[in-house]
Structure 1
């Protein structure tokens, strides 16, 4: 038995709260806001989605998304509206593109704090927010312009409003739920309804709260939902008809992108599905380091399962709803086609399960041993990581520093990697020489942070120990971002775009040149974004632009090899982007009749005539 704690004054509680809010703010600024300014937009999804938002900002068409002049009908509009608004304010750059994502992380952490604080205590809120800011998956999947973090905010806000509405019977919470559901649909389609309504249905059936269905304001709330979500969908459907086989937006967006994608029959079939074992195991990585405490939450759920089946407290209601919702998301995407980041919306509910258990059960003897075991495992992992980094730094100590790591690794065909963490395989001795600063920071973080956290745990300073775990991850994320910047020349072709822009500025090439890309537009999507030139795609009619290219008014941007030969050297100047793995093919096709403008990380920019 522990001696009862002395009463805590209100001023001390306020001081503690303010200190913790400052800590959370500093972590967000250091990890998420400071990283908005670099690197430049990455090729593939990052710059492709940015093109759609940039076209909105330039044309004022906020209904139909366009990428390289082709209709891009597979995405909901809200994330692109936010980025387009940023472009009008801050210009067309990486900061404006990723600002909504950074703000989304801040909102997700604020929601975690409010939810856990109301459920348990201020300490629980601090744990939940800190875990949200320092979870690997949250950091990793906000490096590119994808809407998952915004979707998570709206979905979890809807669930929170539902619970608070049931608790207080205030209609404002239920209207907030309907509004959040509409914004979720405007962020990523029908899953904005499927996940929260599915979880809510199971929860209401288990608890018997379904009898209160009238309180949900189904009619007026449904009208609010339609007022927010319906107008864009209707306008997009009316403005985009007559595509492939007579199909338009409604078929492509609702049937192809939702139903057929789930069944693995989406057109075109350009999505991977992770193997089952990898899908589940990787979540331990995405939720690291807080996944180490997952056994605490699982045992808590099992031991108190009767309390959760008929929850009488807001904390137990939260545990039940979060468990149902997280299970629904994970099982759904284990069946459907999936990408690594698709289960992002389950992160916050799982983190709430973990942190609420930590906050409630720290004094429990068995649970205390499990927490200590998690600290020991974290210390062991930290020791191994620090040792590996030290070995890499020591083995590369005599190698020269190379600022452009992309030139070192161009021969490794990294563009063929499909998993987000595959670039760890590129950490050769030369790579460590180019990454000494981030590697040293990460080594120091893992060499000392886990050990200090374990020591604090041994002295029963649990809050301080968990905070040190979070600080360790924050420092590691800062190091990871520095490494990402060093990898920037390999992951983004913005330097080639800069070369073209500089040549125009110095009048060495004409501003009305014709940009061309060899292969799919995603290979050089950052070139299109930063030059603001529509590109002709040579042998690149593939991927997400196929359906949009079937509309009668679609521009003729797709060429074959013979078309390239016929146009090369005629008419206006042509600039051709060549991916690293297509050099031999282009060299054979053009027979050396080109001028090399710039080569970086194996990618090159060539032109069909000498410079002015």
Structure 2
């Protein structure tokens, strides 16, 4: 029997939930349910532009060519991220199919599950007490119930796995800091540097940045740097060099230094110095974004100040606080603002929030009580905004599958109402059952948002329509070119042999390869037809796909042309 203690009728449902949450079975149940949720979205949601499609296409080319050093998107050098994520995605694709979108998403699922598991066990080390299991499950559930981590578990990108490696290094850093009066065992400092190296191979400086701001904050608050010797810097940096330098040297040689030069100057420094790709936003953006990206757990953020002086006097609380505040301040100062940048601070936020909710706290004074109520209101408004956006996109971009998206939105509204109702009950009685219902409903809500709404935005998912239209052509093309519409998801759907051309080049291409197909965006059509007329090409429009390009925020109409022989 999974819940043997449910036979005790003298327990009310709040106590029943509390008892179950105190057992490790709660963690296994959470992992099993979230695995099912994520696997469903892996199959349901088509490839998304642009980052996911670029990662997947580059990984597919790595699996096809066997070149594990140089990362390319078609023939273009992709000097955005180190090779770690491409190795993992290419390996997954080689095992489960290079043409299956879900194959490239599996490493993100592994990172997601590792994050939840590590968060659970991190609490045992940070806050050892009889309530630690409950604390750990709540922290994991807070992470799983939010939209950001669920979205990253879906996407074939670096961030889900990066978060797992950051948690590994932070766990080891905490143990070294906690036992600063003792000689640090090799298993602690060695694991720290290995996890740091893995994070570098996944996303360059982000992992080291998290640990650096944590170390700097602890040293500043404690006015003590002697414990840093326990990190064994000489041997640690040697480990980092052994793990990361072979690939860095190999790619430098293979590209004559172009990869690292482009990665540092055109990617990293461009984001630090200015808002890259129109993603600039003012200081404070992430503070507000946390209420949306951490919903519904964001309703409880304002309980953290109730921890009071222990936030600075208790070692574990102080560790989480400097991790949270230090990293948050740095990313707020960076001009480029993207939602997933806040991901590395979410575990610290979940750990502190769940600690505040599971510890006996003093009664809040009038000012803190108002602050807590303000947190409820902001979180409720964030959830309402999220539901409103989902309703709008389901209506506007649902297309022929809009009915499914609309039904999912109705279920989402019901879940949101359940969350708000139990939030009201929680405010009145602070019962554990209401808290768990809120978080579980949040997890289901965001699963429905991804697998029910986003998956069925027919007008947004243009690439599958392109692929189906090509398959339905009577005259199968030997070559395919895209003009005016170069989205990576279309490249992934069509395959590596697709050409990305201008309108003029597309007309010349058809003149040379008359059994080919050109897919041209309507805005580029006049230039294309002008050259085609000059070349006396007899064109036939064989298909058309209309949709919405969410990357550019504009409607698109794709016209398919072949030459009449």
TM-score scaled by length of structure 1: 0.77
The answer to whether the Cα contact below 8 Å between 1:385 and 1:446 also exists between their aligned partners in 2 is no
| 1-structure distance, mates of 2:374, 2:434 | 12
Partner of 2:434: 465
Quote the offset at 1:60 in angstroms: 0.6
Give deviations 1:149-200, integer Å, cap 9, x for gaps: 2222212221111111333433211111101110111111123222312321
The alignment status of 1:485 with 2:431, answered yes or no, reads no
Alignment partner of 1:342: what SS? helix
The answer to whether the Cα contact below 8 Å between 1:516 and 1:575 also exists between their aligned partners in 2 is yes
Unaligned runs of 5+ in 1: 1-11, 242-246, 390-420, 540-560
Partner of 2:254: 239
| 1-structure distance, mates of 2:25, 2:343 | 29
Alignment partner of 2:512: what SS? coil
Partner of 2:117: 110
Alignment partner of 1:537: what SS? strand
Residues 300-449 of structure 1 correspond to what in structure 2 (within 5 A)?
300=307, 303-304=308-309, 307-309=310-312, 311=313, 316-336=314-334, 337-361=336-360, 364=363, 373=373, 377=377, 381=381, 424=392, 427-428=395-396, 433=403, 435-449=405-419
| 1-structure distance, mates of 2:384, 2:513 | 60
The answer to whether the Cα contact below 8 Å between 2:178 and 2:315 also exists between their aligned partners in 1 is no
Partner of 1:397: none
The answer to whether the Cα contact below 8 Å between 2:62 and 2:68 also exists between their aligned partners in 1 is yes
Partner of 2:88: 82
The alignment status of 1:257 with 2:267, answered yes or no, reads yes
Partner of 1:451: 421
Alignment partner of 1:64: what SS? coil
Alignment partner of 2:24: what SS? helix
Q: Name which of 241, 250, 267 aligns with 1:226.
A: 241
CA 1:80–1:107 in structure 2 vs 1: closer, same or farther (change >3 Å)? same
The answer to whether the Cα contact below 8 Å between 1:569 and 1:608 also exists between their aligned partners in 2 is no
Q: Name which of 169, 172, 181 aligns with 1:161.
A: 172
| 2-structure distance, mates of 1:529, 1:430 | 23
CA 1:382–1:261 in structure 2 vs 1: closer, same or farther (change >3 Å)? closer
Q: Name which of 575, 582, 605 aligns with 2:517.
A: 575
| 2-structure distance, mates of 1:339, 1:109 | 23
| 1-structure distance, mates of 2:331, 2:375 | 31
The answer to whether the Cα contact below 8 Å between 2:508 and 2:532 also exists between their aligned partners in 1 is no
Quote the offset at 1:264 in angstroms: 2.2
Q: Name which of 41, 46, 55 aligns with 1:40.
A: 46
The alignment status of 1:608 with 2:554, answered yes or no, reads no
The answer to whether the Cα contact below 8 Å between 1:514 and 1:575 also exists between their aligned partners in 2 is yes
Alignment partner of 2:480: what SS? strand
Partner of 2:553: none
Partner of 1:194: 209
Q: Is the deviation greater in 433-442 or in 226-235?
A: 433-442
Q: Is the deviation greater in 490-499 or in 37-46?
A: 490-499
Quote the offset at 1:86 in angstroms: 0.8
| 2-structure distance, mates of 1:382, 1:177 | 37
| 2-structure distance, mates of 1:578, 1:230 | 43
Partner of 1:509: 476
The alignment status of 1:61 with 2:67, answered yes or no, reads yes
The answer to whether the Cα contact below 8 Å between 1:514 and 1:572 also exists between their aligned partners in 2 is no
| 1-structure distance, mates of 2:20, 2:154 | 35
The alignment status of 1:24 with 2:35, answered yes or no, reads no
Q: Name which of 485, 506, 516 aligns with 1:564.
A: 506
The answer to whether the Cα contact below 8 Å between 1:157 and 1:180 also exists between their aligned partners in 2 is yes
Give deviations 1:541-565, integer Å, cap 9, x for gaps: xxxxxxxxxxxxxxxxxxxx33333
| 1-structure distance, mates of 2:390, 2:481 | 29
Quote the offset at 1:366 in angstroms: 5.3
CA 1:470–1:583 in structure 2 vs 1: closer, same or farther (change >3 Å)? farther
CA 1:122–1:496 in structure 2 vs 1: closer, same or farther (change >3 Å)? same
| 1-structure distance, mates of 2:494, 2:467 | 6
| 2-structure distance, mates of 1:427, 1:362 | 45
| 2-structure distance, mates of 1:338, 1:350 | 19
Partner of 1:8: none
Quote the offset at 1:434 in angstroms: 5.5
| 2-structure distance, mates of 1:489, 1:603 | 11
CA 1:31–1:14 in structure 2 vs 1: closer, same or farther (change >3 Å)? closer
The alignment status of 1:593 with 2:562, answered yes or no, reads no
| 2-structure distance, mates of 1:287, 1:14 | 24
Quote the offset at 1:72 in angstroms: 0.9
Give deviations 1:221-253, integer Å, cap 9, x for gaps: 222121111111111111111xxxxx6223222
| 1-structure distance, mates of 2:283, 2:350 | 22
The answer to whether the Cα contact below 8 Å between 1:27 and 1:133 also exists between their aligned partners in 2 is no
Q: Is the deviation greater in 194-203 or in 429-438?
A: 429-438
CA 1:370–1:289 in structure 2 vs 1: closer, same or farther (change >3 Å)? farther
Give deviations 1:516-563, integer Å, cap 9, x for gaps: 111363x2x222212323332223xxxxxxxxxxxxxxxxxxxxx333
CA 1:112–1:133 in structure 2 vs 1: closer, same or farther (change >3 Å)? same
Partner of 2:288: 281
The answer to whether the Cα contact below 8 Å between 1:383 and 1:447 also exists between their aligned partners in 2 is no
| 1-structure distance, mates of 2:159, 2:215 | 20
The alignment status of 1:475 with 2:444, answered yes or no, reads yes
Q: Is the deviation greater in 90-99 or in 55-64?
A: 90-99
CA 1:72–1:339 in structure 2 vs 1: closer, same or farther (change >3 Å)? same
| 1-structure distance, mates of 2:384, 2:286 | 24
The answer to whether the Cα contact below 8 Å between 1:501 and 1:531 also exists between their aligned partners in 2 is no
| 1-structure distance, mates of 2:374, 2:439 | 14
CA 1:147–1:217 in structure 2 vs 1: closer, same or farther (change >3 Å)? same
Quote the offset at 1:118 in angstroms: 2.9
